[in-house]
């Protein structure tokens, strides 16, 4: 890992964009955030586009890249900075065709093979997980720290650790070489609020 770890923020699984904007602004006031993934499942396309319309200007004004989950077509339409695709979503080739030079990240679960395939195809980052139990989705695999060590030692493409990450359980992931920690409930459900959570993660990264 050539630079310190950074926070990759994921929206809650359901939210109302106008009211959630205040939470996002609070999180941003807590410190450095690299990315914001807008992740809404089983909703109309219009709901994703509306969330992007409201949240993207707030994030991008703070230098935060906006990523749309699953849908490169919606990412392009929304003017997002990138898309994150799973193994059952659009192919990497299709995502790259649509996004051009935009960010394309790929879920690789706990598979070294999938990660190497994504890297060879030109992914901008690979995501490994889940590392811990998560309330936001049912994980398809459980990843371990050896996977992060292996990737960090061999490859230059950034890796994202995801799945149930909190300030308390994050240190081993940072030490193992994760370039980004993808966090959702660990920020939005933090007892002291999202600003304190982001500040806490950044204190960890600096340490």
DSSP 94-128: HHHHHHTTSEEEEE-TT-HHHHHHHHHHT-SEEEE
Confidence (pTM)? 0.96
**Total structural domains within the chain:** 1
Residue 11 falls within a domain, yes or no?
Answer: yes
Q: Cβ neighbours of residue 69 under 8 Å, at least 6 residues apart?
A: 37, 38, 39, 40, 41, 83, 84
- Check: CB of residue 159 under 8 Å from CB of residue 178: yes
CATH number at residue 93: 3.20.20.70
Residue 164 falls within a domain, yes or no?
Answer: yes
Residue 97 falls within a domain, yes or no?
Answer: yes
For residue 138 the two structure tokens come to 């049912």
Residue 161 falls within a domain, yes or no?
Answer: yes
For residue 115 the two structure tokens come to 């990660």
Residue 1 falls within a domain, yes or no?
Answer: no
| Closest residue by Cα to residue 11 from 80, 77, 93, 73 | 80
**Where in the sequence is the domain holding 15, given as residue range(s)?**
6-206
For the chain, the C-alpha Rg in angstroms (whole number) is: 16
> Can you tell me the distance from the alpha carbon of 172 to that of 175, in angstroms, rounded to the nearest whole number?
5
Which pLDDT value is given to residue 1? Answer: 39
Peptide bond into 132 cis (omega under 30): no
Q: Convert the pLDDT of each residue in 138-188 to its tens digit.
A: 777 899 999 999 999 999 999 999 999 999 999 999 999 999 999 999 999
Name the β-bridge partners of 35: 8, 65
Running along the chain, 207 residues long, what does each successive block of 10 average in pLDDT? 85 97 98 98 97 98 98 98 94 97 97 97 97 80 96 97 98 98 98 98 97
């Amino acid at each position: 890992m050539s630079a310190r770890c950074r926070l990759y923020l994921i929206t809650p699984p359901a939210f109302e964009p106008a009211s959630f904007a205040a939470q996002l602004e609070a999180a941003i006031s807590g410190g450095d955030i690299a990315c914001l993934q807008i992740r809404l499942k089983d909703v109309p396309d219009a709901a994703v586009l509306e969330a992007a319309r409201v949240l993207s200007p707030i994030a991008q004004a703070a230098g935060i890249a906006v990523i749309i989950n699953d849908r490169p077509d919606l990412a392009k339409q929304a003017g997002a900075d990138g898309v994150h695709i799973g193994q059952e979503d659009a192919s990497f080739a299709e995502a790259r065709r649509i996004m051009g030079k935009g960010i394309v990240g790929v879920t690789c679960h706990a598979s070294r093979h999938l990660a190497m395939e994504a890297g060879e195809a030109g992914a901008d980052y690979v995501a490994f997980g889940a590392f811990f139990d998560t309330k936001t989705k049912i994980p398809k695999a459980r990843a371990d720290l050896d996977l992060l060590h292996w990737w960090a030692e061999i490859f230059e493409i950034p890796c994202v650790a995801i799945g149930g990450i909190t300030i308390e359980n994050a240190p081993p992931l940072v030490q193992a070489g994760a370039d980004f920690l993808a966090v959702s409930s660990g920020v939005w459900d933090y007892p002291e609020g999202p600003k304190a959570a982001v500040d806490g993660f950044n204190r960890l990264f600096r340490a």
